[in-house]
C-alpha cells in the first residue's frame, strides 16, 4: 500500500493505492486536505493503468506514408536530436520551442526550464498554466508582491463569515473542497456565488448573482463604490497596511448600482444587498477562479476584487482576505520553477541579473549563457512555423489541439512545424499530429512533488510498476541533453532534482530550500516559503532552527519592498468581443464533474461517463431558435463552428450558452484576445450564434 495523491486537480487529494499491477484506490483519511474524500475522478484514477490506449513504444511518422511506425528509444531520440541540431545550426537556438504543463511535477517543471535554457539555449519556453491562473498570479504579484494561489489553508474558509466565490464552480471541479462551504454555513456564515450559470456550487450558496459573462470587474467596482459610500472601508487598516487607495476611491465614484445593473445585468438591489452583507461582516474571504480570470481583462478583474478585500481590511489577517482557486494539479508549483517564459526557479525573474547569477551558479553555467524572456504560451503557438518563429517544438504534459484557444488556428500552426515532438501516455489529439511521439510514465508510476492550491508541497510516490517500454520525462530530457551535447548533465532521480531545486530557489520568493522529501512525508506537506532555517538563534545558541513553512502569508507584512499591499485603480473595458446582430449571444466554457481538462486521461477511463460536448441554454433561447432538449444545435463564432446536443436548463442566463471544453470543439470557438498583463486568452467569453 502506498500513500500518494490524485493525478488531477489542484486539490491534490491524498489517496492510498494497493496492488502494483492492478491498482485499487482507497481513502487516506489522515491526509488533512481531503480527509479521505475523493471525487469520482479520484476514485477512478487507476482506470488509466492497463488501458488499451496506453503508448509503450516511441513512434516516428514515416514521411513517405504519413503513418506512424514504432521505433526504438535510441532511434526516436537520435531523430529528434539530429533535427534540433540542424535547425539550431541554421536558424539559431530560438528556432526550437518547449511547451510544458501545469500537471508536471515540480521536478519536471524545473528540469524542463533548465533543459530549455541550457541544453537547447532557447528562450522559447512557456506552458499551459499560462491559460490557467496567470491573471490571478499577475494581480497577486502586483497587489501583494508575491503570488501564492491561497495565502492560507483551504480549511480557513470554514472560519470566515462571508465567502465570496467569483467564477468558481468548486462543487463540481473539486467536490471534496465543498465541505468547507457547508461547514461555514453550519457555523452561521454566508456563501455568495457569482457566476453566469446557477451551478452545483450555487446550490450550496445563500446568495447567487448571475452577471453577464465578462462583467465581474464592473460588479467589483460597484460593490466597492457602495462600501465607500456606506462608510465600510477599514480606514485604519488602509492607512497602516496599504498604499494607493485614494486613486481607487476616486475611480469607483461613478459606479453607482444602477450603472452596475446596466453593465452586469445584476439588479441594483442585489448589488446593494451584497455590499451591505460584506460591509457588515467581521471576516470576508474573496476567492476567484477561471470564471473571473480567463478574460482579456482578467488580471484587472482580480485586482478589482482584491481592492474590495483590501478596503475591508481583510488581506493578511486570519480567516479573511483574497485567494485564487488554482485549477491544474501543479498549477501552483508549475508556475514557480522556470517553465514560464519570463521566470527562473523560485519565482525569480529571468531579466534580473542577480537571479540569473544565482541560478546559473546552481546549474554550473555562465549567467550570460542563459537566454532572456521568451514568448507567452499563446504568442508562442501563434508564431510557430512563421518566418520569425520556432520551427520545432517539444511538448510535455499538454494536449494543445484540444485546450488552446482558437484551436483550429493553433492546430494549423503546429502542423506547419518542421518537427513536432509530443511526450504523452496516450495518443492525444496533439500527439496524433506529431512527427515523433514518446511514451512516458504516468502519475503513480513515478515519484515527484506537487504544490497544491494552498501552496502545500506534497509528495506523489511511485506506487505501481510502469509498463515496459515507457520512460519518465526526466529520462527523456537526460537522453536528449546528452545527444545535444549539453554543457551539463541532466539527472533523473526526482529526489536529487528536488534537492537541486531547493538550492535554485534559495533566497527567492518561492523558497523551497528547507523542504525535503522526508519532511513532506512526515508533516503531510510543507507550505512554502520554507527557507532552510528561521534565521533566529535557539536557546542553545544554534542559528539553524528548522523553518516550519508558511501556512498563512502576509500576517505581518506583504512581500512588497515597503511591506504594504498595493491598491490598483482599474477600469471596466468589457470583453474583447461583444454580441451583435450576427453573433447575438455570449459563449462561455468550463468543466463537468466527471472529466478533467482536455480529457486525454479521463475520457479513456471506462467508469467515468463520456457524454461528449453539449450546449447548455435557457428555455427562452431554445424557444427563440426552435431547439428542443437533446436535439443537435450549431454554435458558430468568428473562429469556428461545432455541433452538439442542446441541454435546455433554466439555470443559465438567457443571453448565454455554455459548452464544456473537454472535447474537441469548444476551443475552436474561443477567442484568443489576450490580457495585456498576464497574456491570458479570453477563454471565458466571446460572441456566438446558435442555430438549429
Ligand atoms: S480531481 Fe481533484 S477533487 Fe477530485 S479527487 Fe482528484 S484532486 Fe481530489
pLDDT digits (tens, 9 = 90+) for 404-435: 889 899 999 999 999 999 999 999 999 999 99
Ligand 1 centroid to residue 42 C-alpha, Å: 5
Between β-strands 242-243 and 686-691, what pairing exists: parallel, antiparallel or unpaired?
A: unpaired
Mutating to test ligand 1, I would choose from 174, 177, 594 the residue with most ligand atoms within 8 A of its C-beta, which is 174
- pLDDT for 608 beyond 80: no
- pLDDT for 539 beyond 70: no
Cβ neighbours for 381, distance < 8 A, ≥ 6 positions apart: 99, 400, 404, 410, 413, 414
- pLDDT for 120 beyond 90: yes
Rounded CA-CA distance 474/128 in Å is: 19
- pLDDT for 362 beyond 90: yes
Q: What is the pLDDT of residue 32?
A: 94
Sign of CA dihedral 58, 62, 67, 69: negative
Ligand 1 centroid to residue 514 C-alpha, Å: 27
Q: What is the pLDDT of residue 536?
A: 62
Q: Is 329 in the pocket of ligand 1 (CB under 6 A)?
A: no
Ligand 1 centroid to residue 38 C-alpha, Å: 6
How remote is the C-alpha of 458 from its chain's centroid? Answer: 17
Ligand 1: which residue has its CA nearest to atom 3?
174
Ligand 1: which residue has its CA nearest to atom 8?
13
Q: Is 38 in the pocket of ligand 1 (CB under 6 A)?
A: yes
Q: What average pLDDT does this structure show over 669-692? A: 91
Higher confidence at residue 158 or residue 292?
Answer: 158
Report which ligand 1 atom has the smallest distance to the Cα of 174: 3
Helix (H, G, I), strand (E, B) or coil at 70: strand
Rounded CA-CA distance 92/114 in Å is: 18
Rounded CA-CA distance 599/594 in Å is: 10
Report which ligand 1 atom has the smallest distance to the Cα of 9: 2
**Average pLDDT of every residue of the chain:** 93
Q: Is 13 in the pocket of ligand 1 (CB under 6 A)?
A: yes
* 651 close to 210: Cβ distance less than 8 angstroms: no
- Which residues on adjacent β-strands are paired with residue 533? 546
Ligand 1 centroid to residue 611 C-alpha, Å: 20
Q: What is the pLDDT of residue 538?
A: 58
Q: What is the pLDDT of residue 328?
A: 81
Report which ligand 1 atom has the smallest distance to the Cα of 34: 8
**CA-based nearest residue to 488, from 121, 119, 222:** 119
Write down the residue that cell numbers 542553545 correspond to: 540
Q: Is 330 in the pocket of ligand 1 (CB under 6 A)?
A: no
| Residue 641, all three cell numbers | 463552428
pLDDT band at 544 (very low <50, low <70, confident <90, very high): low
> CA angle, 291 as apex, 339 and 260 as ends, to 5°?
135
- pLDDT for 22 beyond 80: no
Ligand 1 centroid to residue 605 C-alpha, Å: 15
Mutating to test ligand 1, I would choose from 10, 154, 175, 330 the residue with most ligand atoms within 8 A of its C-beta, which is 175
| Residue 78, all three cell numbers | 537520435
Q: What average pLDDT does this structure show over 282-305? A: 94
CA dihedral 278, 284, 289, 294 (to 10 degrees): 50
pLDDT band at 601 (very low <50, low <70, confident <90, very high): confident
- pLDDT for 573 beyond 70: yes
pLDDT band at 542 (very low <50, low <70, confident <90, very high): low
Q: What is the pLDDT of residue 21?
A: 72
Ligand 1: which residue has its CA nearest to atom 4?
39
Rounded CA-CA distance 13/464 in Å is: 18
Cβ neighbours for 476, distance < 8 A, ≥ 6 positions apart: 77, 423, 438, 440
Q: Is 10 in the pocket of ligand 1 (CB under 6 A)?
A: no
- What element of type H or E holds 249? helix 245-251
Higher confidence at residue 8 or residue 476?
Answer: 476
φ, ψ of residue 337 in degrees (nearest 5): -120, 20
Q: What average pLDDT does this structure show over 454-468? A: 93
Q: How large a percentage of the chain has pLDDT more than 70?
A: 98
Q: What is the pLDDT of residue 541?
A: 58
Report which ligand 1 atom has the smallest distance to the Cα of 176: 3
pLDDT digits 0-9 by tens, 375-384: 999 999 999 9
| Residue 262, all three cell numbers | 446596466
Strands (E), 333-404: 343-344, 348-349, 392-396
- pLDDT for 285 beyond 80: yes
B/e letters for 437-447, b = 16+ CB within 10 Å, e = fewer, are bbbbbbbbbbb
Report which ligand 1 atom has the smallest distance to the Cα of 38: 5
Amino acid at each position: 500500500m502506498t500513500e500518494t495523491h490524485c493525478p488531477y486537480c489542484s486539490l491534490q487529494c491524498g489517496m492510498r493505492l494497493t496492488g502494483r499491477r492492478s491498482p485499487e484506490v482507497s481513502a487516506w483519511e489522515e491526509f488533512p486536505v481531503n480527509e479521505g474524500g475523493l471525487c469520482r475522478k479520484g476514485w477512478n484514477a487507476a482506470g488509466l493503468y492497463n488501458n488499451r490506449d496506453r503508448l509503450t513504444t516511441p513512434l516516428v511518422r514515416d514521411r513517405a506514408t504519413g503513418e506512424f511506425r514504432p521505433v526504438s528509444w535510441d532511434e526516436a531520440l537520435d531523430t529528434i536530436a539530429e533535427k534540433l541540431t540542424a535547425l539550431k545550426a541554421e536558424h539559431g537556438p530560438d528556432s526550437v520551442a518547449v511547451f510544458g504543463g501545469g500537471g508536471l511535477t515540480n521536478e519536471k517543471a524545473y528540469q524542463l526550464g533548465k533543459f530549455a535554457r541550457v541544453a537547447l539555449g532557447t528562450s522559447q519556453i512557456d506552458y499551459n498554466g499560462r491559460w490557467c491562473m496567470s491573471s490571478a498570479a499577475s494581480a497577486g504579484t502586483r497587489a501583494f508582491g508575491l503570488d501564492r494561489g491561497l495565502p492560507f489553508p483551504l480549511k480557513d474558509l470554514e472560519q470566515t463569515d462571508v465567502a465570496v466565490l467569483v467564477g468558481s464552480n468548486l462543487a463540481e471541479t473539486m467536490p471534496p473542497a465543498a465541505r468547507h462551504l457547508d461547514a461555514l454555513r453550519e457555523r452561521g456564515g454566508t456563501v455568495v456565488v457569482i457566476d453566469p450559470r446557477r451551478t452545483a456550487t450555487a446550490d450550496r450558496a445563500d446568495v447567487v448573482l448571475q452577471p453577464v459573462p465578462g462583467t465581474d470587474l464592473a460588479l467589483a467596482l460597484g460593490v466597492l463604490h457602495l462600501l465607500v459610500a456606506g462608510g465600510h472601508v477599514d480606514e485604519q487598516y488602509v492607512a497602516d497596511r496599504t498604499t494607493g487607495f485614494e486613486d481607487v476611491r476616486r475611480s469607483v465614484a461613478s459606479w453607482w448600482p444602477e450603472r452596475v445593473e446596466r453593465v452586469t445585468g445584476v439588479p441594483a438591489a442585489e448589488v446593494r444587498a451584497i455590499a451591505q452583507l460584506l460591509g457588515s461582516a467581521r471576516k470576508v474571504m474573496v476567492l476567484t477562479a477561471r470564471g473571473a480570470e480567463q478574460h482579456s481583462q482578467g488580471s484587472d478583474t482580480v485586482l478589482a476584487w482584491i481592492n474590495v478585500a483590501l478596503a475591508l481590511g481583510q488581506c493578511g489577517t486570519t480567516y479573511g482576505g483574497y485567494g485564487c482557486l488554482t485549477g491544474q494539479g501543479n498549477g501552483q508549483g508549475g508556475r514557480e520553477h522556470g517553465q514560464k517564459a519570463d521566470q527562473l526557479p523560485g519565482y525569480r525573474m529571468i531579466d534580473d541579473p542577480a537571479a540569473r547569477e544565482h541560478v546559473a551558479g546552481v546549474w554550473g553555467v555562465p549567467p550570460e549563457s542563459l537566454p532572456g524572456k521568451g514568448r507567452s504560451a499563446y504568442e508562442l503557438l501563434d508564431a510557430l512555423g512563421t518566418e520569425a518563429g520556432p520551427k520545432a517544438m517539444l511538448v510535455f504534459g499538454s494536449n494543445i489541439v484540444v485546450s488552446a484557444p482558437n484551436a483550429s488556428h493553433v492546430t494549423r500552426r503546429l502542423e506547419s512545424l518542421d518537427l513536432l515532438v509530443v511526450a504523452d501516455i496516450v495518443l492525444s489529439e496533439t500527439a496524433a499530429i506529431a512527427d515523433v511521439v514518446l511514451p512516458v510514465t504516468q502519475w503513480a508510476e513515478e515519484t515527484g512533488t506537487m504544490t497544491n492550491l494552498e501552496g502545500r508541497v506534497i509528495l506523489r510516490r511511485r506506487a505501481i510498476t510502469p509498463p515496459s517500454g515507457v520512460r519518465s520525462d526526466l529520462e527523456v530530457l537526460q537522453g536528449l541533453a546528452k545527444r545535444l551535447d549539453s554543457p551539463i548533465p541532466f539527472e533523473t532521480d526526482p529526489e536529487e532534482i528536488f534537492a537541486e531545486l531547493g538550492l535554485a530557489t534559495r533566497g527567492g520568493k518561492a523558497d523551497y530550500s528547507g523542504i525535503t522529501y522526508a519532511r513532506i512525508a512526515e508533516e503531510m506537506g510543507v507550505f512554502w516559503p520554507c527557507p532552510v532555517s528561521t534565521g533566529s538563534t535557539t536557546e542553545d545558541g544554534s542559528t539553524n532552527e528548522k523553518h516550519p513553512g508558511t501556512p498563512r502569508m502576509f500576517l505581518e507584512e506583504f512581500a512588497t519592498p515597503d511591506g504594504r499591499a498595493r491598491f490598483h485603480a482599474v477600469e471596466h473595458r468589457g470583453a474583447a468581443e461583444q454580441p451583435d446582430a450576427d453573433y447575438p449571444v455570449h459563449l462561455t466554457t468550463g468543466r463537468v464533474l466527471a472529466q478533467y481538462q482536455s480529457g486525454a486521461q479521463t475520457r479513456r477511463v471506462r467508469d467515468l461517463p463520456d457524454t461528449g460536448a453539449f450546449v447548455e441554454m435557457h428555455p427562452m433561447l431554445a424557444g427563440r431558435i426552435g431547439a428542443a432538449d437533446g436535439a443537435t444545435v450549431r454554435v458558430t463564432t468568428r473562429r469556428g463552428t461545432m455541433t452538439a446536443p442542446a441541454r435546455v436548463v433554466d439555470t443559465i442566463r438567457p443571453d448565454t450558452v455554455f459548452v464544456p471544453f473537454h472535447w474537441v470543439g469548444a476551443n475552436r470557438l474561443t477567442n484568443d484576445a489576450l490580457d495585456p498583463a498576464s497574456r491570458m486568452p479570453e477563454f471565458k467569453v466571446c460572441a456566438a450564434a446558435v442555430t438549429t
